[in-house]
């Protein structure tokens, strides 16, 4: 696997904290990588913006002429880079650690939000009542990603894998596993 993998089928080099002995991972999924493109473009623009600004300064002079005596231009640019790096890292880390795992025994949804939020939820196949998938816009159709929705009989009655690659295959396998486990699934 590489750091940007979003779809791994029967991965051998992935484990998770609550994995039971003999439990096999069938899918390890993240949001499709293509869903990252908007923030990647924004980050590149944000990192390039000071260059454009310095070109402007060379032609027309500083915007901070009221603040002589301190290198405000440098401070403003350093702060701009700080904000850009925070934004980029926050988006990457959020994508990287939001993982959906399908094993031969259960479904696991690892939710992660910087800086303080982490939630791990799981559902067993015998609780699964219905599964469906949807691809609801042109990008999802072109790049083959979408949502898989699972209704469960448990307290948390909905389980959703959002923007995952190849949702049809994932839904099909989950459906087969639920049928095998003897849940309410057809």
Partner 1 sequence: MSNMEFSNIVVIFLNTIVVIIVLMYLLFAVILVRQVSLMGQVIITGVDKYVKAMALIHLAFAFIVALFLINTLLL
Contacts of residue 110, defined as CB under 8 A and 6 or more positions apart, other chains included, come to 16, 97, 98, 99, 100, 101, 118, 119, 120
| CB 158, min distance to partner 1, A | 22
Burial tier of 2 (Cβ tally within 10 Å: 0-12, 13-18, 19+):
exposed
Binding part of the chain for partner 1, among 31-39, 80-88, 125-133, 151-159 by CB under 8 A, reads 80-88
Task: Take residue 153 and report the two structure tokens written for it.
Answer: 């009989």
Say how far apart CA 55 and CA 58 lie, in whole Å.
5
- The verdict on 87 binding partner 1 (CB under 8 A) reads no
**Considering CB under 8 A, how many residues would be counted as binding partner 1?**
36
| CB 20, min distance to partner 1, A | 15
Show the DSSP H helices in 61-166 as ranges. 72-97, 138-143
Site track 45-74 with partner 1 (rule: CB under 8 A), x = hit = ---------------------xx-xxxx-x
Tell me the β-bridge partners of 159.
150
| CB 50, min distance to partner 1, A | 14
For tokens 């009989």, name the residue.
Answer: 153
Q: Which is nearer to partner 1, 29 or 32 (CB)?
A: 29
Q: Which is nearer to partner 1, 93 or 149 (CB)?
A: 93
- The verdict on 33 binding partner 1 (CB under 8 A) reads no
For tokens 């702060």, name the residue.
Answer: 79
Q: Which is nearer to partner 1, 63 or 85 (CB)?
A: 85
Site track 92-121 with partner 1 (rule: CB under 8 A), x = hit = -x--xx-x-x--------x-x-xxx-x-x-
Q: How many Cβ atoms are within 10 Å of 106's Cβ, its own excluded?
A: 19
Task: Take residue 124 and report the two structure tokens written for it.
Answer: 């067993």
* Sheet-wide strand order for 117-124: 7-9, 25-29, 99-103, 106-113, 117-124
Binding site for partner 1 (CB under 8 A): 1-3, 13-17, 28, 66-67, 69-72, 74-75, 78-79, 81-82, 85-86, 89, 93, 96-97, 99, 101, 110, 112, 114-116, 118, 120
């Amino acid at each position: 696997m590489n750091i940007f993998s979003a779809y791994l089928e029967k991965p051998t080099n992935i484990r998770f904290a609550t994995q039971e002995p003999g439990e096999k991972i069938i899918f390890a999924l993240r949001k499709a990588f293509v869903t990252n493109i908007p923030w990647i473009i924004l980050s590149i623009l944000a990192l390039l913006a000071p260059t454009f600004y310095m070109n402007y300064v060379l032609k027309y002079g500083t915007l901070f002429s009221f603040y002589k005596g301190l290198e405000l231009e440098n401070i403003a640019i350093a702060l701009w880079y700080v904000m850009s790096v925070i934004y980029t890292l926050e988006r990457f880390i959020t994508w990287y650690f939001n993982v959906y795992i399908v094993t031969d025994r259960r479904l696991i949804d690892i939710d992660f939000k910087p800086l303080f939020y982490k939630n791990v939820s799981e559902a067993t196949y015998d609780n699964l009542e219905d599964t469906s998938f949807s691809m609801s816009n042109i990008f999802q159709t072109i790049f083959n990603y979408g949502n898989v929705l699972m209704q469960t009989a448990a307290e948390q009655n909905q389980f959703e894998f959002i923007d995952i690659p190849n949702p049809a295959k994932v839904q099909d396998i989950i459906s087969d596993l639920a049928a095998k486990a003897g849940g309410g699934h057809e």
